[in-house]
Amino acid sequence: MADPMRIRAQAAGDKATIRVLMSHEMESGQRKDGTGKTIPAWHIQDVTATLNGKTVMTAEWGPAVSKNPFLQFTIKGAKAGDKVGITWKDNKGDTRSDEATVT
Amino acid sequence: MQSKFLLPLAAAAVSFLTACSTPLPSSADLDKLTKDIVARSFRAEGQAQLDRVNPDEDNLLCSQADQSGNTIDEKLATAVEARNMQTIKAPVDGKYLGDFKEGEKIAQSGSGKTWTDKADAANGGNCYNCHQISKEELSYGTLGPSLYNYGKMRGVANPNNAESKPIVEYTWGKINNPRAYNACSSMPRFGHKGVLTEMQIKHVMALLLDPASPVNK
Amino acid sequence: MQTRRETLKHSAAVASLLAATGLFPQYAQAFDKAAFDAKTINEAIKAMGGAVPVESKDVTITGPDIAENGAVVPFGASTSLPNVKRVLLLVEKNPSALVAMFNVSPEVDVNFATRAKMGQSSDVYAVAITNDGKAFFAKKEVKVTLGGCGG
Amino acid sequence: MKKIALAVGLVGLSAIAFAQKSSTDSIAEYRQMLQDGNPADLFEAKGEGLWTQKRGPKNASLEKCDLGKGPGVFKGVWVELPRYFADTGRVQDLESRLLTCMQELQGFDAQEIAKTPFGRGEQSNVTALATWIAAESKGMKLNLPQDHMEERKMYEVGKRLFFMRGGSHDFACATCHSQDDKRIRLQDLPNITKNPGAGNGFGAWPAYRVSNGQMWGAQLRLNDCYRQQRFPYPIFGSDATIALGVYMGVNGKGGATVAPAIKR
């Protein structure tokens, strides 16, 4: 199973800044292995962010997002104590969900 | 069981005896200890064989000087330069310059001779690691002097001219074996140590000296 | 200084990048036309009608002028435009240009940051797509350097 | 018309600003942009988990591991490593000491782990542990002990190794790391013979390498230096690597650590 994400959710005023690090190879599909065979693309495809269970953002990613991806965005109206959830799914169907509390 | 991560009690006991206010061993003893440690700390991998941690006389002398913070003794330097000078051979066909475009590729490449490089693959020159060369490449090192306008600044209008001969020959020698000119130069001895082939050195020569090369624009 | 012609070129570039993602059928036709040589770009842009992506100061792309390594290049894409549905990050010279697409909801600011791989120096675009299908973009040129010992 | 003139003026200005900004400034800006969100965090979290997790043939945690300040102490240990350990009779760095603990407490075969390629199997766990332990000393000042004779001898050996020219290219560590304000390509080269270079350089690893997306401990950092130096392969945790660690760390005394850093 994939390693956990690191999610930081910090409230400032009436918004919260969310910073996420995900543990993923993000293989580009452009590289070749030692025998000259192309290493197939393996990357996070879908990202969903929730605030207290309600979806606030979705994203679609290609293989050009860097390895161990970083994502930052801002949720309006989020305050300390709220729960921010992030779920990703990759093109092999592997998925990972983690949650953080806004501080 | 032989394991240096485990507890060899005897070794621990010995160490206690040598602890505290005892003065350090002599420099020669520390040199010997270093040699022993090198012998057990490296293993051969790929083309990087153990002979590479067995430095030649030139390197031994320069390492000692570097470590002491002094420059190498003048007499020794002359001897080092003289014996390195003898390794420099003029090109077999008398032609010093190749293709500057090829030279640029060699200058860009930092590969070659590491344990992850294939022994039969062409080596790079690593030139941009230490030198500015063409103006277009922003990513250049500063360990060596800038080589931008190398030929132009030295007035090389035609590398085949008689008046260009001294600078052409010096440049050839410098790339082949820089320690013929500076006993403890940091630059690799590209020809002498077989890092670059004669043909590759010609290409690098063209990069530096061909008036048509971007270096001399 | 950016000439009108260059602006049009960029619009065409964005249109073709959008089309290449396959996500926006409305740009597919524009892509085909934009693929013509420079002489016909003006006509191609005209033919795009409302679908012409417009460079806009209300869209912002942040990123480094020079990336020390193409494997990780940080970018931010944001806009102050209203009614934005999606924000795209595109690297023109990547094998597939679309890096990431963010679907916006009223609960989030239209301001996203992530990191992209870049195979070589390239123009990078942030494109905001509004609810009515219009596209506005900002462009940034990023130089990718070769670092380290290179071995 | 006026509007256009103004716009042109602005474009002109920014073009000049760009031209005046040196590549070095731009690179500094790039590095700054990466500071927030260092993927080393992911490895740090993993390492923290591994410390308390019961693992290995003995199904034990590492909570009794002595990294130099007594069993179980992990805060502040890293800025005093490498140091002499009486139980093994050796000067050890963080990674080789972790192997001792994994063998003694958890029953792993330290030799086996030492032979495992970086990033694989238990080696990747050692890196994660080292990342977390280094992070627990973040901002503290390097303060390697030099009281024990073995520690002082290792400093002297490290110094000799640092200046040892060899390999196909005649490179020594000192070729790149004994002068101020030099760079290789666009990367600044710390002068490791003194501070601030020694503290900045030594105090930055483990670091996340963006070029390959890997977490590198000090052992791998040195390993790759030797690879680029065209030397043969330094054995994991060997005395040569530890002596160099002592030399760099002692030279860096008083330098504040930034590990785990993010590097090119």
- Tell me the count of B-D CB pairs closer than 8 A: 196
Question: Which pLDDT belongs to residue C151?
Answer: 52
Judge whether residue D17 has pLDDT over 70: no
In chain D, the percentage of residues whose pLDDT exceeds 70 is 92
* CB within 8 Å of chain C, chain A residues 75-94: 75-77
Q: Where are the alpha helices (DSSP H) in D191-238?
A: 197-202, 218-228
Q: Cβ distance D173 to D244 under 8 Å?
A: yes
Question: Which pLDDT belongs to residue B9?
Answer: 46
Question: Which pLDDT belongs to residue D264?
Answer: 82
Q: Do C146 and B108 touch (CB under 8 A)?
A: yes
More confident position, D52 or B139: D52
Task: Provide the shortest C-alpha distance from residue C145 to chain D (in Å).
Answer: 8
Rounded to an integer, what is the distance from CA A37 to the centroid of its chain?
29
Instruction: List Cβ neighbours of B64 (8 Å cut-off, separation of 6 or more).
Output: D163
CA distances from B189 to B67, B84, D166 (A): 21, 9, 12
Same domain flag for D122 and D12: no
Q: Do D37 and A4 touch (CB under 8 A)?
A: no
Q: What is the pLDDT of residues B158-181, one digit of tens each?
A: 999 999 999 999 999 999 999 999
Return the closest-CA partner of residue D233 out of D222, D244, D243, D217.
Answer: D222
* Cα four-point dihedral sign B194, B196, B198, B201: negative
Beta-carbon-side half-sphere exposure of residue D128 (alpha carbons within 13 Å): 17
DSSP B190-203: TTTTTSS-HHHHHH
Q: Which residues of D touch A25 (CB under 8 A)?
A: 213
Return the closest-CA partner of residue D135 out of D41, D218, D261, D259.
Answer: D259
Q: Cβ distance D227 to B116 under 8 Å?
A: yes
The mean pLDDT value for A49-76 works out to 95
Q: What is the pLDDT of residues D53-98, one digit of tens each?
A: 999 999 999 999 999 999 999 999 999 999 999 999 999 999 999 9
Within 10 angstroms of residue B167's Cβ, the number of other Cβ atoms is: 17
CA distances from C101 to A19, A64, C122, D224 (A): 17, 12, 19, 37
Fold of the B100-216 domain: Cytochrome Bc1 Complex; Chain D, domain 2 (1.10.760)
DSSP A41-77: PB-EEEEEEEETTEEEEEEEE-TTBPSS-EEEEEEET
Question: Which pLDDT belongs to residue C51?
Answer: 58
Task: Provide the shortest C-alpha distance from residue B163 to chain D (in Å).
Answer: 32
Same domain flag for D158 and D210: yes
Q: Among B12-21, D2-11, D134-143, which stretch is predicted with the lowest mean pLDDT?
A: D2-11
Instruction: List Cβ neighbours of B102 (8 Å cut-off, separation of 6 or more).
Output: B200, B203, B206
E strand or H helix that includes residue D12:
helix D2-20
Same domain flag for D18 and D50: no
In angstroms, the CA A30 to CA C105 distance is: 33
**Token reading at C68:** 């020390």
Q: Do C151 and B126 touch (CB under 8 A)?
A: yes
In angstroms, the CA D111 to CA D133 distance is: 22
Q: What is the pLDDT of residues B77-116, one digit of tens each?
A: 999 999 999 999 999 999 999 999 999 999 999 999 999 9
Task: Provide the shortest C-alpha distance from residue C3 to chain A (in Å).
Answer: 31
Question: Which pLDDT belongs to residue C10?
Answer: 72
Q: Beta strands A54-61 and B42-43: pairing type? A: unpaired
Beta-carbon-side half-sphere exposure of residue D184 (alpha carbons within 13 Å): 19
Q: Do C68 and D212 touch (CB under 8 A)?
A: no
Q: Which residue segment(s) compose the domain that D170 sits in?
A: 40-263
Q: Where are the alpha helices (DSSP H) in D110-196?
A: 110-115, 121-135, 149-162, 173-177
Return the closest-CA partner of residue B87 out of B171, B185, B202, B174.
Answer: B174
The set of catalytic residues of D is: 225
Same domain flag for D193 and D76: yes
Domains: count for chain D: 2
Within 10 angstroms of residue D119's Cβ, the number of other Cβ atoms is: 13
Same domain flag for D55 and D132: yes
Note whether D46 contacts A: Cβ–Cβ < 8 A: yes
In angstroms, the CA B61 to CA D143 distance is: 33
**Token reading at A8:** 């930081």
Q: Cβ distance A91 to A33 under 8 Å?
A: no
Same domain flag for D55 and D143: yes
Q: Cβ distance B160 to B205 under 8 Å?
A: no
The contacts found for C15-19 with CB under 8 angstroms, 24 or more apart, are: C15/C48, C15/C51, C15/C52, C15/C53, C15/C135, C17/C90, C17/C92, C17/C97, C17/C98, C17/C125, C18/C53, C18/C88, C18/C90, C18/C127, C18/C135
Q: Do C145 and D33 touch (CB under 8 A)?
A: no
Q: Using CB atoms, which chains have 3+ pairs under 8 A with D?
A: A, B, C
pLDDT bracket for residue D239 (50, 70, 90)? very high
Residue in chain C lying closest to B107 (CA): C150
Q: Which of D160, D233, D235 sits opposite B34 (nearest CB)?
A: D160
Spell out, as residue ranges, where chain C has pLDDT lower than 50: 1-2, 27-50
Q: Beta strands C122-130 and C84-91: pairing type? A: antiparallel
Residue in chain B lying closest to D110 (CA): B5
Q: Which of B6, B24, B42 sits opposite D156 (nearest CB)?
A: B24
Q: Which residues of A touch D39 (CB under 8 A)?
A: 21, 23, 67-68, 70
Q: Which residues of B touch C149 (CB under 8 A)?
A: 110, 126, 129
Same domain flag for D5 and D79: no
DSSP C68-111: S-TT-EEEEEEE--SSEEEEEEEETTSSS-EEEEEE--TTB-SE
Same domain flag for D55 and D127: yes
Residue type, C69: N
**Cross-strand pairs, D4:** none
Q: Which value, to the nearest 10 degrees, does the dihedral of the CA atoms of residues D63, D66, D70, D72 take? A: -10
Q: Which residues of D touch C151 (CB under 8 A)?
A: 227-228
Task: Provide the shortest C-alpha distance from residue D50 to chain A (in Å).
Answer: 13
Q: Cβ distance D19 to D26 under 8 Å?
A: no
Residue in chain A lying closest to D33 (CA): A70
Same domain flag for D55 and D179: yes
Please state the pTM of the whole predicted model. 0.85
Mean pLDDT for chain C overall: 76
- Predicted complex ipTM: 0.82
In angstroms, the CA C146 to CA C120 distance is: 10
Q: Do C150 and B126 touch (CB under 8 A)?
A: yes
Q: Do A70 and C104 touch (CB under 8 A)?
A: no
Residue D91 sits in a domain whose CATH number is 1.10.760.10
Residue in chain D lying closest to B189 (CA): D169
The mean pLDDT value for B29-58 works out to 96
In angstroms, the CA B128 to CA B207 distance is: 12
Q: Cβ distance D44 to D135 under 8 Å?
A: yes
Q: Do C111 and A73 touch (CB under 8 A)?
A: yes
Question: Which pLDDT belongs to residue D13?
Answer: 38
Q: Do D23 and C67 touch (CB under 8 A)?
A: no
Residue D22, classified by CB atoms within 10 Å of its CB into exposed (0-12), middle (13-18) or buried (19+), is exposed
Please list the helix, strand and coil fractions of chain B in percent, rounded to the nearest 5, in that order: 45, 0, 50
Please list the helix, strand and coil fractions of chain D in percent, rounded to the nearest 5, in that order: 50, 10, 40
Q: What are phi and psi of B18, to 5 degrees?
A: -90, 0
In angstroms, the CA C135 to CA C127 distance is: 6
